[in-house]
Amino acid sequence: MPRKTKPPLPRMIAEAVVRALGGYVAGILEKKARELAELAVWFNGAVVTLEHESVNAPVDLHDKLVPALEEAEAHLLEMRARVLKLAADMEADGHRGRIVSALRAVARAGADLHESVLHFKWAVMEHDADVDVNHGNFEVFDTPDALIESLHR
């Protein structure tokens, strides 16, 4: 009968270090998931405020907020794709522990934040369009050619 042997000491140390670092990394990822979730809550609250408060000034006065929000949306989608790929790669390598769970939590929170940013962006655009209409800051076009001509000005 073959005798069971203990792994060599360097391997045992390496496995202990990996377990310890794994817990540390998982903790960082779990914290990041909570932070992303908190940001999503903030954006959702901002949407409610814009929809229900009487604010008579544009939010994106210099047309910089909406492009920044669109950039954030793109980054969040990219981050989510990378995190999901990393989680899938780790699972394919046989990992099923806390790190993979934390990666999936980051991906979920990132998706929720993306949705919240998207809703906020639309709320800002709708709010600012309403403000423009209420203050007469818009132009009416009688024909498609008049609209196209205005775009070249």
pLDDT recorded at residue 36:
98
Distance CA 26, CA 32 (A): 10
The pTM of this model reads 0.76
Ramachandran sector of residue 19 (left: φ over 0; alpha: ψ -120 to 50; beta: rest): alpha
**Is the predicted pLDDT of residue 89 greater than 80, yes or no?**
yes
H/E stretch holding 88 reads helix 65-92
| Dihedral sign (CA 5, 6, 8, 9) | negative
With both helix axes pointing from N to C terminus, report the angle between 65-92 and 98-134 in degrees, rounded to the nearest 10. 160
Q: How many CA atoms lie within 13 A of 47 on its CB side?
A: 16
Q: Please, which pLDDT band fits residue 66 given cuts at 50, 70 and 90?
A: very high
pLDDT recorded at residue 152:
83
Residue pLDDT, tens place only, 3-44: 666 666 676 786 677 677 888 899 999 999 999 999 999 999
Cβ 70 vs Cβ 121: under 8 Å: yes
Side chain identity at 56, as an amino acid letter?
N
pLDDT recorded at residue 146:
85
What tokens were used for 137?
């800051």
Mean pLDDT of 44-67: 89
What tokens were used for 100?
């993979």
| Non-local CB neighbours of 42 within 8 Å, separated by 6+ positions | 116
